[in-house]
Amino acid sequence: MSGASYYLGVDGGGTKTRFVLLDGEGGVRAEVQRGTAYHPQIGLDGVRALLADGIDAVTRQAQATPDGIAYAFFGLPAHGEDAVATPQLDAMPEALLGHRRYRCDNDMVCGWAGSLACADGINIVAGTGSIAYGQRQGRQARAGGWGEVFSDEGSAYWIAIQGLNAFSRMSDGRLPRGPLHAALRAHFDLADDLDLCARVYGAQALTRDRIAQLSLQVAQAAEAGDDAARAIFERAGQELAAIVDAVRRALEFGDDAQVPVTCSGGAFGAGALLQAPLAAALQATGVGFELRAPRYAPHHGAALYAMRLAGHPLPGTIAAA
């Protein structure tokens, strides 16, 4: 395989980071997965180490070298949201690749590029965080994704926080106790409900990604008939629809236009619990939103976008190794 040209895609996330090498025909030559690339959590040095490890692993797996990478695209969480950190993120891959044939941007681009194969439309991501991104006729726009402290509505983290809030209300008697109360007590093995505070705020406080994983308990409670949990998913779908519509307006899709929309991110693992209220809220706008199944995973999208940035024709399909 020496002398072959590859396209590297890196999809960084709040929970995991995936690396893939495609050849010029769209064949998958190597894939690896590592942990979060969220620099507010692991620091810039942590991101640098993670990228170095991932690039080394994926090139070794393909029996290639970084010099054999024709172009790379790095989608990194929180990129573009910190005037100090973003230039440092932009500079990192040069030393790791040994060349400047790459571009960095927010990981939202990976979701769009993969799910729509770089075609015009909008992708809504609901993973650890939430954000929508789209392109139309060379224009691009985003909405949401302001971080977990005051935004990321509809994300797994947001769903988990709403679930923890409902638990506290149930414990106090401000809400009727439903399956969610029992589910979280069992998950944390609580002897007393107030022990939850130590789990969330204490010396071994949960990280952002671990809090987001509590959305699974909220989903299970909703499936078990918990009204409060179901209401959380209803609102999550409505919030995500509002983010999508904001991008639609920014891209100047008319009210009578057909707007392709795809969904990606772990929160959608809840299935109809989240997808149904999202679809209903989009339909209620009266706009011709067309929900589509994603074509490819976000890390594959990152590699496709690398091809596009390099001026290489996009393959008709991505073939597994």
Taking a C-beta distance cutoff of 8 angstroms, is the pair 188, 195 a contact?
Answer: yes
Amino acid, res. 146: W
User: What pLDDT score does 15 carry?
Assistant: 86
Own/partner pairs for 171-178, CB < 8 Å, 24+ apart? 175/228, 176/227, 178/221, 178/224, 178/225, 178/226, 178/227, 178/228, 178/229
Positive or negative, the CA dihedral 305, 309, 311, 312 is negative
72 bridge partner residues: 8, 102
The domain spans of the chain are 6-116+297-310, 118-294
User: What pLDDT score does 1 carry?
Assistant: 38
Taking a C-beta distance cutoff of 8 angstroms, is the pair 195, 161 a contact?
Answer: no
What DSSP string describes 166-201? HHHHHHHTSS---HHHHHHHHHHT-SSTTHHHHHHH
pTM attached to this predicted model: 0.90
Taking a C-beta distance cutoff of 8 angstroms, is the pair 22, 217 a contact?
Answer: no
**Same-fold call for 6-116+297-310 versus 118-294:** yes
Number of Cβ within a 10 Å radius of residue 186 = 10
Q: Is the domain 6-116+297-310 a CATH 3.30.420.40 member?
A: yes
User: What pLDDT score does 292 carry?
Assistant: 96
Pick the CATH number of 118-294 from 3.40.50.620, 3.30.420.40, 3.40.630.10, 3.40.630.30: 3.30.420.40
Taking a C-beta distance cutoff of 8 angstroms, is the pair 131, 268 a contact?
Answer: no
User: What pLDDT score does 173 carry?
Assistant: 98
Per run of 10 residues, the mean pLDDT along the chain (length 321 residues) is 78 94 96 96 97 98 96 96 97 98 96 97 95 96 94 97 98 98 97 96 90 97 98 98 98 94 95 98 97 96 98 90 61
The token duo for 133 is 């991104």
Which H/E stretch holds residue 231? helix 227-250
Own/partner pairs for 94-97, CB < 8 Å, 24+ apart? 96/48, 96/51, 96/52, 96/55, 96/66, 97/55, 97/66, 97/67, 97/69, 97/72
CA-CA distance, 60 to 56, in Å (whole number)?
6
Return the residue matching tokens 């029996």.
63
User: At residue 175, what are phi and psi to the nearest 5 degrees?
Assistant: -135, 150
Q: How many residues in total does the chain contain?
A: 321
Q: Report which of 146, 126, 143 is spatially closest to residue 232, judged by C-alpha positions.
A: 126
CA-CA distance, 261 to 110, in Å (whole number)?
14
- The Cα angle at residue 34 between residues 1 and 269, in degrees rounded to 5: 110
